[in-house]
Protein backbone atom coordinates (compact mmCIF):
# COMPACT_ATOMS: atom_id res chain seq x y z
CA UNK A 1 0.00 0.00 0.00
CA UNK A 2 1.05 3.60 -0.46
CA UNK A 3 -0.06 4.25 3.13
CA UNK A 4 2.25 4.27 6.10
CA UNK A 5 -0.22 2.89 8.57
CA UNK A 6 -0.94 0.09 10.94
CA UNK A 7 -3.65 -2.53 11.26
CA UNK A 8 -7.06 -1.10 12.14
CA UNK A 9 -7.24 -1.03 15.91
CA UNK A 10 -9.94 -1.96 18.35
CA UNK A 11 -11.20 1.62 18.64
CA UNK A 12 -14.41 3.44 17.82
CA UNK A 13 -14.97 3.92 14.10
CA UNK A 14 -14.53 7.46 12.85
CA UNK A 15 -16.11 9.23 9.90
CA UNK A 16 -13.95 8.76 6.79
CA UNK A 17 -12.78 11.81 4.86
CA UNK A 18 -11.05 12.36 1.54
CA UNK A 19 -8.82 15.22 0.43
CA UNK A 20 -8.29 15.64 -3.32
CA UNK A 21 -5.63 17.75 -5.02
CA UNK A 22 -4.40 17.98 -8.60
CA UNK A 23 -0.80 16.96 -9.25
CA UNK A 24 1.62 16.06 -12.02
CA UNK A 25 2.84 12.63 -12.97
CA UNK A 26 6.29 13.43 -11.56
CA UNK A 27 4.75 14.40 -8.24
CA UNK A 28 2.60 11.25 -8.24
CA UNK A 29 5.63 9.05 -8.82
CA UNK A 30 7.44 10.77 -5.98
CA UNK A 31 4.58 9.71 -3.72
CA UNK A 32 5.01 6.04 -4.69
CA UNK A 33 6.27 5.12 -1.28
CA UNK A 34 5.65 5.92 2.35
CA UNK A 35 5.68 9.41 3.81
CA UNK A 36 7.66 9.49 7.05
CA UNK A 37 5.75 12.47 8.45
CA UNK A 38 2.44 10.66 8.04
CA UNK A 39 3.87 7.43 9.48
CA UNK A 40 4.26 9.14 12.83
CA UNK A 41 0.57 10.06 12.95
CA UNK A 42 -1.77 7.99 15.09
CA UNK A 43 -4.08 7.53 12.11
CA UNK A 44 -2.03 8.06 8.93
CA UNK A 45 -3.92 8.53 5.66
CA UNK A 46 -3.97 6.24 2.65
CA UNK A 47 -2.55 8.05 -0.39
CA UNK A 48 -3.72 7.20 -3.90
CA UNK A 49 -2.71 8.81 -7.20
CA UNK A 50 -4.36 8.40 -10.58
CA UNK A 51 -4.49 9.89 -14.07
CA UNK A 52 -7.14 12.58 -14.36
CA UNK A 53 -6.72 12.76 -18.13
CA UNK A 54 -5.13 10.14 -20.39
CA UNK A 55 -1.67 10.93 -21.80
CA UNK A 56 -1.40 14.22 -19.93
CA UNK A 57 1.53 14.22 -17.50
CA UNK A 58 0.26 17.43 -15.93
CA UNK A 59 -3.23 16.10 -15.23
CA UNK A 60 -2.93 13.67 -12.34
CA UNK A 61 -4.82 13.54 -9.06
CA UNK A 62 -3.92 12.86 -5.44
CA UNK A 63 -6.59 11.41 -3.14
CA UNK A 64 -5.82 11.10 0.56
CA UNK A 65 -8.20 8.99 2.68
CA UNK A 66 -8.36 9.89 6.37
CA UNK A 67 -9.95 8.13 9.31
CA UNK A 68 -11.50 11.17 10.95
CA UNK A 69 -11.58 14.75 9.70
CA UNK A 70 -8.08 15.80 8.53
CA UNK A 71 -6.39 18.58 10.46
CA UNK A 72 -5.19 21.79 8.87
CA UNK A 73 -1.62 20.61 9.44
CA UNK A 74 -2.27 17.34 7.57
CA UNK A 75 -3.80 19.22 4.63
CA UNK A 76 -0.85 21.63 4.62
CA UNK A 77 1.53 18.66 4.48
CA UNK A 78 -0.40 17.20 1.55
CA UNK A 79 -0.22 20.50 -0.31
CA UNK A 80 3.55 20.63 0.22
CA UNK A 81 3.88 17.29 -1.57
CA UNK A 82 2.29 18.61 -4.76
CA UNK A 83 3.74 22.09 -5.46
CA UNK A 84 1.92 22.27 -8.78
CA UNK A 85 -1.33 22.57 -6.82
CA UNK A 86 -0.28 25.86 -5.21
CA UNK A 87 -3.21 28.23 -5.36
CA UNK A 88 -5.71 25.39 -5.82
CA UNK A 89 -8.19 24.88 -3.02
CA UNK A 90 -8.22 21.21 -1.95
CA UNK A 91 -11.49 19.32 -2.11
CA UNK A 92 -12.20 18.08 1.41
CA UNK A 93 -15.23 15.84 1.76
CA UNK A 94 -16.75 13.44 4.23
CA UNK A 95 -17.32 9.98 2.77
CA UNK A 96 -20.35 7.73 3.16
CA UNK A 97 -20.21 5.07 5.83
CA UNK A 98 -18.31 2.58 3.69
CA UNK A 99 -15.23 0.40 4.10
CA UNK A 100 -12.74 3.08 3.08
CA UNK A 101 -9.72 0.81 3.59
CA UNK A 102 -11.04 -1.68 1.05
CA UNK A 103 -12.03 1.06 -1.37
CA UNK A 104 -8.62 2.72 -1.17
CA UNK A 105 -6.76 -0.56 -1.69
CA UNK A 106 -8.71 -1.72 -4.73
CA UNK A 107 -6.67 -1.67 -7.92
CA UNK A 108 -3.24 -1.56 -6.25
CA UNK A 109 -0.50 -2.99 -8.41
CA UNK A 110 0.92 -6.40 -7.54
CA UNK A 111 4.20 -6.40 -5.61
CA UNK A 112 7.15 -8.71 -6.19
CA UNK A 113 9.56 -9.10 -3.26
CA UNK A 114 12.10 -11.88 -3.40
CA UNK A 115 10.38 -15.02 -4.64
CA UNK A 116 6.95 -13.70 -3.60
CA UNK A 117 4.42 -12.09 -5.92
CA UNK A 118 1.54 -10.53 -3.97
CA UNK A 119 -1.68 -9.67 -5.80
CA UNK A 120 -4.61 -7.68 -4.39
CA UNK A 121 -7.11 -8.61 -7.11
CA UNK A 122 -7.99 -12.14 -8.19
CA UNK A 123 -8.19 -10.88 -11.77
CA UNK A 124 -4.50 -9.94 -11.75
CA UNK A 125 -2.41 -12.63 -13.48
CA UNK A 126 -0.13 -14.86 -11.47
CA UNK A 127 3.60 -14.55 -12.06
CA UNK A 128 5.24 -17.73 -13.41
CA UNK A 129 8.15 -18.95 -11.35
CA UNK A 130 7.09 -16.92 -8.29
CA UNK A 131 5.22 -17.84 -5.12
CA UNK A 132 1.89 -16.17 -5.84
CA UNK A 133 -0.12 -14.95 -2.86
CA UNK A 134 -3.52 -13.28 -3.13
CA UNK A 135 -4.27 -10.73 -0.41
CA UNK A 136 -7.51 -9.03 -1.40
CA UNK A 137 -8.28 -5.46 -0.43
CA UNK A 138 -9.81 -5.75 3.01
CA UNK A 139 -10.47 -4.20 6.38
CA UNK A 140 -6.95 -5.07 7.61
CA UNK A 141 -3.62 -3.75 6.39
CA UNK A 142 -0.65 -5.80 5.24
CA UNK A 143 -1.23 -6.27 1.51
CA UNK A 144 2.46 -6.21 0.59
CA UNK A 145 2.32 -2.62 -0.66
CA UNK A 146 3.94 -1.14 2.42
CA UNK A 147 7.73 -0.97 2.23
CA UNK A 148 8.06 -2.70 5.60
CA UNK A 149 6.00 -5.70 4.48
CA UNK A 150 7.89 -5.98 1.20
CA UNK A 151 11.15 -5.64 3.11
CA UNK A 152 10.21 -8.53 5.39
CA UNK A 153 9.27 -10.70 2.40
CA UNK A 154 12.64 -10.00 0.80
CA UNK A 155 14.50 -10.72 4.04
CA UNK A 156 12.63 -13.99 4.60
CA UNK A 157 13.47 -15.08 1.06
CA UNK A 158 17.15 -14.24 1.60
CA UNK A 159 17.20 -16.18 4.88
CA UNK A 160 15.91 -19.25 3.07
CA UNK A 161 18.41 -18.81 0.25
CA UNK A 162 21.36 -18.87 2.64
CA UNK A 163 20.10 -22.09 4.20
CA UNK A 164 18.47 -20.96 7.42
CA UNK A 165 15.96 -23.44 8.86
CA UNK A 166 13.17 -22.90 11.37
CA UNK A 167 10.83 -25.26 13.19
CA UNK A 168 8.73 -22.99 15.42
CA UNK A 169 7.63 -19.57 14.14
CA UNK A 170 5.50 -16.67 15.41
CA UNK A 171 4.20 -13.58 13.59
CA UNK A 172 3.22 -10.93 16.14
CA UNK A 173 0.89 -8.28 14.68
CA UNK A 174 0.10 -10.26 11.55
CA UNK A 175 -2.38 -7.88 9.84
CA UNK A 176 -3.61 -9.92 6.87
CA UNK A 177 -1.46 -12.98 7.63
CA UNK A 178 0.82 -12.35 4.65
CA UNK A 179 4.18 -12.69 6.42
CA UNK A 180 3.05 -15.83 8.23
CA UNK A 181 1.96 -17.34 4.90
CA UNK A 182 5.32 -16.49 3.35
CA UNK A 183 7.27 -18.02 6.25
CA UNK A 184 5.18 -21.19 6.05
CA UNK A 185 5.88 -21.44 2.34
CA UNK A 186 9.61 -21.25 3.02
CA UNK A 187 9.57 -23.66 5.97
CA UNK A 188 6.48 -25.80 5.34
CA UNK A 189 7.02 -28.34 8.14
CA UNK A 190 7.37 -25.76 10.91
CA UNK A 191 4.86 -24.99 13.62
CA UNK A 192 3.47 -21.48 13.18
CA UNK A 193 1.27 -19.05 15.07
CA UNK A 194 0.14 -15.55 14.09
CA UNK A 195 -1.56 -12.92 16.24
CA UNK A 196 -3.03 -9.45 16.02
CA UNK A 197 -4.61 -7.14 18.57
CA UNK A 198 -7.53 -6.57 16.19
CA UNK A 199 -10.02 -9.47 15.95
CA UNK A 200 -11.04 -8.21 12.50
CA UNK A 201 -7.45 -8.70 11.30
CA UNK A 202 -7.52 -12.25 12.65
CA UNK A 203 -10.77 -12.92 10.75
CA UNK A 204 -9.24 -11.50 7.58
CA UNK A 205 -6.13 -13.64 8.08
CA UNK A 206 -8.30 -16.75 8.33
CA UNK A 207 -10.10 -15.80 5.11
CA UNK A 208 -6.79 -15.15 3.35
CA UNK A 209 -5.44 -18.47 4.60
CA UNK A 210 -8.36 -20.27 2.97
CA UNK A 211 -7.87 -18.32 -0.26
CA UNK A 212 -4.19 -19.25 -0.42
CA UNK A 213 -4.51 -22.85 0.70
CA UNK A 214 -2.79 -22.31 4.06
CA UNK A 215 -4.09 -24.93 6.52
CA UNK A 216 -5.13 -23.70 9.95
CA UNK A 217 -4.58 -25.65 13.12
CA UNK A 218 -2.06 -26.56 15.78
CA UNK A 219 0.18 -29.12 14.12
CA UNK A 220 3.32 -28.81 12.00
CA UNK A 221 2.62 -27.16 8.67
CA UNK A 222 -0.50 -25.50 10.07
CA UNK A 223 -1.10 -21.94 11.20
CA UNK A 224 -2.71 -21.08 14.52
CA UNK A 225 -4.42 -17.68 14.69
CA UNK A 226 -5.12 -15.79 17.91
CA UNK A 227 -6.24 -12.33 18.96
CA UNK A 228 -3.70 -10.88 21.38
CA UNK A 229 -2.12 -7.62 22.50
CA UNK A 230 1.56 -8.22 21.88
CA UNK A 231 2.60 -11.56 23.40
CA UNK A 232 -0.27 -11.65 25.89
CA UNK A 233 -1.90 -14.95 24.99
CA UNK A 234 -1.59 -18.40 26.53
CA UNK A 235 -1.18 -20.02 23.11
CA UNK A 236 1.73 -17.73 22.19
CA UNK A 237 3.46 -18.24 25.54
CA UNK A 238 2.75 -21.98 25.59
CA UNK A 239 4.43 -22.58 22.21
CA UNK A 240 7.64 -20.77 23.20
CA UNK A 241 10.56 -20.78 22.72
CA UNK A 242 10.54 -19.83 19.02
CA UNK A 243 13.46 -20.02 16.62
CA UNK A 244 11.86 -17.34 14.38
CA UNK A 245 9.70 -14.45 15.53
CA UNK A 246 8.43 -11.73 13.16
CA UNK A 247 7.19 -8.35 14.41
CA UNK A 248 6.23 -5.86 11.70
CA UNK A 249 4.55 -3.18 13.78
CA UNK A 250 5.82 0.28 14.83
CA UNK A 251 8.86 1.56 16.73
CA UNK A 252 6.93 2.42 19.91
CA UNK A 253 5.41 -1.01 20.49
CA UNK A 254 8.60 -2.74 19.27
CA UNK A 255 10.49 -1.03 22.09
CA UNK A 256 7.73 -1.65 24.63
CA UNK A 257 7.50 -5.32 23.69
CA UNK A 258 11.25 -5.99 23.57
CA UNK A 259 11.47 -7.87 26.91
CA UNK A 260 8.47 -10.11 26.26
CA UNK A 261 9.31 -10.81 22.61
CA UNK A 262 12.95 -11.64 23.35
CA UNK A 263 11.89 -13.93 26.18
CA UNK A 264 9.86 -15.91 23.65
CA UNK A 265 12.92 -16.64 21.48
CA UNK A 266 15.35 -19.48 22.10
CA UNK A 267 19.12 -19.02 22.34
CA UNK A 268 20.45 -18.52 18.82
CA UNK A 269 16.93 -17.75 17.59
CA UNK A 270 16.00 -15.02 15.13
CA UNK A 271 13.77 -11.96 15.47
CA UNK A 272 12.74 -10.06 12.35
CA UNK A 273 11.76 -6.46 13.10
CA UNK A 274 10.12 -3.94 10.77
CA UNK A 275 7.72 -1.02 10.88
CA UNK A 276 10.30 1.45 12.17
CA UNK A 277 11.84 4.41 10.36
CA UNK A 278 15.59 4.66 9.79
CA UNK A 279 15.68 7.47 12.35
CA UNK A 280 14.30 5.06 14.96
CA UNK A 281 16.76 2.20 14.45
CA UNK A 282 19.15 3.18 17.25
CA UNK A 283 16.40 3.34 19.86
CA UNK A 284 14.89 0.02 18.79
CA UNK A 285 18.26 -1.73 18.64
CA UNK A 286 19.18 -0.45 22.10
CA UNK A 287 16.00 -2.02 23.53
CA UNK A 288 16.76 -5.39 21.95
CA UNK A 289 20.48 -5.42 22.69
CA UNK A 290 19.56 -4.95 26.34
CA UNK A 291 17.68 -8.27 26.04
CA UNK A 292 20.65 -10.16 24.62
CA UNK A 293 19.99 -9.66 20.91
CA UNK A 294 22.57 -8.68 18.29
CA UNK A 295 22.07 -7.21 14.84
CA UNK A 296 22.85 -9.84 12.19
CA UNK A 297 21.60 -8.08 9.05
CA UNK A 298 19.86 -4.91 7.94
CA UNK A 299 18.20 -4.01 4.65
CA UNK A 300 16.44 -0.77 3.72
CA UNK A 301 13.57 0.08 1.39
CA UNK A 302 13.39 3.85 1.29
CA UNK A 303 13.10 5.14 4.85
CA UNK A 304 12.02 1.74 6.17
CA UNK A 305 14.67 -0.72 7.43
CA UNK A 306 14.19 -4.41 8.14
CA UNK A 307 16.34 -5.77 10.96
CA UNK A 308 17.36 -9.40 11.49
CA UNK A 309 18.48 -10.03 15.07
CA UNK A 310 19.90 -13.14 16.71
CA UNK A 311 19.75 -14.04 20.38
CA UNK A 312 23.11 -14.46 22.04
CA UNK A 313 23.55 -17.74 23.95
CA UNK A 314 23.72 -17.30 27.71
CA UNK A 315 25.27 -19.59 30.25
CA UNK A 316 24.75 -20.52 33.86
CA UNK A 317 22.01 -18.97 35.96
CA UNK A 318 21.36 -16.24 33.36
CA UNK A 319 20.35 -18.72 30.69
CA UNK A 320 16.69 -18.02 29.71
CA UNK A 321 14.32 -20.95 29.58
CA UNK A 322 10.74 -19.93 28.86
CA UNK A 323 8.68 -16.80 29.18
CA UNK A 324 7.35 -16.27 32.67
CA UNK A 325 3.64 -17.13 32.44
CA UNK A 326 2.88 -14.11 34.64
CA UNK A 327 4.48 -11.71 32.13
CA UNK A 328 1.66 -10.06 30.19
CA UNK A 329 3.72 -8.80 27.28
CA UNK A 330 1.05 -6.33 26.23
CA UNK A 331 1.23 -3.38 23.87
CA UNK A 332 -2.35 -2.11 23.98
CA UNK A 333 -3.52 -0.13 20.97
CA UNK A 334 -0.93 -1.42 18.54
CA UNK A 335 -1.22 -3.82 15.63
CA UNK A 336 0.72 -4.61 12.49
CA UNK A 337 1.55 -2.58 9.43
DSSP H stretches of helix in the chain: 25-30, 36-39, 72-81, 100-105, 147-161, 178-186, 199-211, 234-239, 251-263, 281-289
Residue 173 marked in a binding site: yes
- For 34, the 3-state DSSP assignment is coil
Q: What CA–CA distances, in Å, run from 60 to 21, 63, 178? A: 9, 10, 31
CA distance 272 to 280: 15
Give the rounded distance of the alpha carbon of 277 from its chain centre.
13
Q: Which letter does DSSP use for residue 190 in this model? A: S
Nearest in space to 323 (alpha carbons), one of 257, 262, 251, 243: 262
Q: What CA–CA distances, in Å, run from 138 to 134, 142, 297, 335? A: 12, 9, 32, 15
- For 76, the 3-state DSSP assignment is helix
Residue 149 marked in a binding site: yes
Q: Which letter does DSSP use for residue 248 in this model? A: E
Kindly report the number of other CB atoms within 10 A of residue 103's CB atom. 17
Give the rounded distance of the alpha carbon of 17 from its chain centre.
23
Inter-residue contact 28 to 49 (CB < 8 Å): yes
Annotated binding residues for S-adenosyl-L-methionine, written as ranges, equal 149, 173, 196, 248
Enumerate the known binding-site residues.
149, 173, 196, 248
Amino acid sequence: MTAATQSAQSRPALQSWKVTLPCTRIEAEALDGDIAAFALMERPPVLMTSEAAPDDDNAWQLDAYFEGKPSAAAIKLLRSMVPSAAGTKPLVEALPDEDWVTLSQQGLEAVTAGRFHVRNLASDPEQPGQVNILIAASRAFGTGQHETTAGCLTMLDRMRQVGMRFNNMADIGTGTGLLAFAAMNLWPRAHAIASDIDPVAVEISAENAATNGVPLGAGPGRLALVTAAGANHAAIIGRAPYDLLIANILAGPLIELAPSLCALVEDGGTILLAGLLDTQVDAVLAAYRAQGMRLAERTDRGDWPTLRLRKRPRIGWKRPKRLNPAARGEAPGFGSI
